[in-house]
Amino acid sequence: MLENLSAQPADKILALIAEFKAETRPDKIDLGVGVYKDATGNTPVMRAVKEAERRLVADQTSKAYTGIAGDPAFSEVMIDLVLGDSVARARVAAVATPGGTGAIRQALELVRLAAQKATVWLSNPTWPNHPSIIKYLGMNMAEYRYFDSETRGVDFEGLMSDLENLSEGDVVLLHGCCHNPTGANLSYEQMAQVIGVMQKKRAVPFVDIAYQGFGDGLAEDARITRLIARSFDNCLIAASCSKNFGIYRERTGILMAIAKDADQQGITQQNLAFLNRQNFSSPPDHGARVVTTILQDPDLRADWEAELEETRNGMLALRQQLADELKRLTNSDRFDFLAHHRGMFSRLGTTPEMVEKLRAEHGIYMVGDSRMNIAGLNAQTVPILAKAIVDAGI
């Protein structure tokens, strides 16, 4: 049997991690891996997470399975965090999942159950796991233009033109905030226009929100997702706790499905539970309990929000420092987009050959499409990166 297997393509980011580890130059810079790092290069455990875990260890009396949908309290706090009061709670079905990736997979499985022939539309570019999972599931897929390599902003005209090709029942995957891999976001007003086209075409939105709190703040980062949610009878939302709670390895995510009414919600909840059962039975619980503990306790929540703000402001400061340093070196404002982007990532909009030149000549590692993790920088490495970008002729 196993002799029939074919080799799978190597994961580019994992390969990049291995190359970086093998690099011997002391001034090497890792801008590839998609995790938050502090100024020392560490991915810290947040203070509120530490305290919540301490309480769990002291108070938890069982490691029995949670329900198939996960702990209902986790769903409640996450629905409140992401959606607020934008839609009636009776319309929202939800299940805990193994991370945001698990939520995306379950959402696509749900689409396949409900509308097998639907086409899923993705931004070009998008997070590589989006098309990978869709292809693996054998689903129809199409792309809409998104990133303008000249302006390093959103190609809004191209995007709107492509969405005119939607068919009724198609699914449009949208990034809730902090677009990955570009860092370039649609404005609230632009999203309202996107919603108008989708409503006209009777398409279904699917929001991936993995970085809430990393862009412009918790509430502001949820604003577009809430606008989308209240604008449609049906909406899918995959949310991750990996980044904003810093619990990457705990695999904590949630899938929310907004139904037209309470009756449709009940059927949807049954189908979400069915899919959880088929794929992993019960979802992981430790991270979900940590998140629930934090969001239910006013003091822990306040401390978490304060540390999250420190993280967000730190990344914004690095963005501004890099943009300012590049302006100083080039006497040009063509890198100002770096300060306008949001989240962990920005896309330089250069070629794979230039990315390789940065690696070979300067020990700077980023993904071949020129996505770089701003959180991989610190105040001392920003000038090094800026000089390398200029020296490479980007």
Question: Dihedral, CA atoms, 178, 180, 181, 183, nearest 10 degrees?
Answer: -10
379 a catalytic residue:
no
Name which of 175, 230, 170 is nearest 204 in CA terms.
Answer: 170
Question: H/E element holding 287?
Answer: helix 286-296
Burial 365-383 (b: 16+ CB within 10 A, else e): bbbbbbbbbbbbbbeebbe
Paired tokens of 116: 């097998």
Question: Dihedral, CA atoms, 355, 361, 364, 366, nearest 10 degrees?
Answer: 20
Q: How many CB atoms lie within 10 A of CB 136?
A: 10
CB 181 within 8 A of CB 215: no
Rounded distance between C-alpha atoms, residue 279 and residue 276, angstroms: 5
Environment class of 342 (CB within 10 Å of its CB; exposed 0-12, middle 13-18, buried 19+): buried
304 a catalytic residue:
no
Name which of 352, 340, 285, 234 is nearest 98 in CA terms.
Answer: 285
Q: Which one of the listed residues 52, 184, 210, 222 is annotated catalytic?
A: 210
Rounded distance between C-alpha atoms, residue 298 and residue 262, angstroms: 31
Q: Which one of the listed residues 170, 229, 243, 259 is annotated catalytic?
A: 243
Q: How far is CA 219 from the centre of its chain?
A: 16
121 a catalytic residue:
no
Distances (CA, A) of 254 to 1, 81, 95, 180, 181: 36, 12, 6, 19, 21
Residues near 301 by beta carbon (within 8 Å), at least 6 away in sequence: 48, 294, 295
Q: Which one of the listed residues 127, 323, 357, 386 is annotated catalytic?
A: 127
Rounded distance between C-alpha atoms, residue 119 and residue 203, angstroms: 10
210 a catalytic residue:
yes
Q: Which one of the listed residues 148, 155, 208, 285 is annotated catalytic?
A: 208
Rounded distance between C-alpha atoms, residue 340 and residue 43, angstroms: 24
Give me the residue label for tokens 């959880």. Answer: 276
**Which are the catalytic amino acids?**
127, 208, 210, 243
